[in-house]
């Protein structure tokens, strides 16, 4: 296991979309591990390391809002992109006015989380890649508020504010146990991009991701 970090993240809105909802966006009750990892990778990512989420602390009461958002219903077909790379004639343009559609979304409001995570070295790490080196770089970037691209809570319209935490995480405002049901853990890209789920539970506002994963995953 690599060196661990603690990161506070918060924002006005969040949408961690349930994949079973095909038309309208409906958010999970809390942030998913893959969304937490995406925030960390937005701050610091290298092929030599991989982030793993240990715990997610849910600080604020879970509140939902209904909003309507303009989205583009289509995308440029992959075949046209391949034709363009081959030098063939292809139209790589989509008129957003023709493709625009208004959809309802059930999103989270006033969210605040603490992420506990660590990273491991991958098989792409070289001799110059050490845990200490990458930990110090990640630490410096988090403390300075630097990122490769600004992290967001599920949708780019919902930006993330973050700060590094070098003290104990305060107690959550939530009490009791809550079964969150099946939650998306990650997408298995090498294996036909299969969605991998786990049974998530929250105890006094804390989701122990590693403990839940030991109980099994589903695809």
Pairing relationship of beta strands 100-121 and 161-164 according to DSSP bridges: unpaired
* Any domain includes 165: yes
* Any domain includes 207: yes
Backbone φ and ψ for 83, nearest 5 degrees, come out as -65, -40
Out of 52-61, 97-106, 166-175, pick the least confident: 97-106
Q: Would you state the pLDDT for residue 189? A: 78
Mean per-residue pLDDT over the chain, rounded = 89
Out of 35-44, 64-73, 160-169, 205-214, pick the least confident: 64-73
* Any domain includes 112: yes
| Angstrom distance (rounded) from CA 49 to CA 118 | 10
Residue 126 DSSP symbol: -
**pTM (predicted TM-score):** 0.86
- pLDDT band (50, 70, 90) for residue 219: low
Backbone φ and ψ for 94, nearest 5 degrees, come out as -130, 125
- Tell whether the model's pLDDT for residue 201 goes beyond 70: yes
Rounded mean pLDDT, 9-38: 92
Rounded mean pLDDT, 175-179: 93
- Tell whether the model's pLDDT for residue 94 goes beyond 80: no
Rounded mean pLDDT, 108-126: 94
Nearest in space to 13 (alpha carbons), one of 23, 27, 33: 27
Nearest in space to 60 (alpha carbons), one of 173, 206, 177, 147: 173
* Any domain includes 194: yes
- Tell whether the model's pLDDT for residue 137 goes beyond 80: yes
- 81 near 43, Cβ under 8 Å? no
Structural domain of 138: 4-68+106-218
Q: Would you state the pLDDT for residue 101? A: 80
- 153 near 14, Cβ under 8 Å? yes
Considering Cα of 144, then 15, then 36, then 62, what sign does the dihedral take? positive
CATH number reported for the structural domain that contains residue 159 in this entry: 3.30.70.2660
- Tell whether the model's pLDDT for residue 2 goes beyond 60: no
| Angstrom distance (rounded) from CA 141 to CA 150 | 12
Rounded mean pLDDT, 144-154: 94
* Any domain includes 86: no
Q: Would you state the pLDDT for residue 72? A: 76
**Which runs of consecutive H residues, i.e. helices, occur in the chain?**
33-43, 78-85, 96-99, 131-144, 209-214
Count of structural domains, the chain: 1
* Any domain includes 89: no
* Any domain includes 100: no
Residue 87 DSSP symbol: T
Q: Which residues have a Cβ under 8 Å from the Cβ of 181 and sit 6 or more positions away?
A: 199, 200
- pLDDT band (50, 70, 90) for residue 1: very low
Q: Which residues have a Cβ under 8 Å from the Cβ of 17 and sit 6 or more positions away?
A: 25, 26, 27, 28, 154
**First CA to last CA distance, the chain:** 25
- 14 near 111, Cβ under 8 Å? yes
* Any domain includes 23: yes
Rounded mean pLDDT, 156-163: 95
Q: How many helices (H) and strands (E) does the chain have?
A: 5, 10
């Amino acid at each position: 296991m690599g060196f661990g970090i603690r990161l506070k993240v918060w924002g006005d809105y969040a949408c961690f979309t349930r994949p079973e909802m095909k038309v309208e966006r409906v958010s999970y009750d809390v942030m998913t591990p893959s969304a937490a990892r995406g925030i960390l990778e937005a701050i610091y990512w290298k092929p030599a390391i991989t982030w793993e989420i240990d715990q997610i602390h849910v600080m604020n009461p879970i509140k939902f809002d209904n909003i309507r958002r303009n989205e583009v219903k289509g995308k440029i077909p992959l075949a046209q992109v391949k034709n363009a790379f081959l030098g063939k004639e292809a139209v790589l343009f989509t008129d957003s006015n023709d493709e625009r559609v208004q959809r309802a979304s059930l999103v989270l409001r006033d969210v605040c989380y603490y992420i506990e995570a660590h990273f491991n070295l991958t098989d792409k790490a070289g001799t110059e890649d050490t845990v200490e080196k990458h930990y110090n770089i990640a630490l410096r970037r988090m403390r300075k508020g630097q990122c490769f691209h600004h992290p967001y809570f599920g949708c780019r319209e919902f930006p993330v504010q973050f700060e590094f935490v070098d003290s104990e995480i305060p107690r959550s405002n939530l009490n009791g146990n809550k079964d969150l049901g099946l939650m998306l853990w990650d997408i298995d890209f090498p294996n036909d991009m299969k969605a991998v789920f786990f049974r998530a539970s929250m105890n006094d506002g804390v989701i122990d991701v590693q403990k839940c994963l030991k109980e099994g995953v589903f695809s």
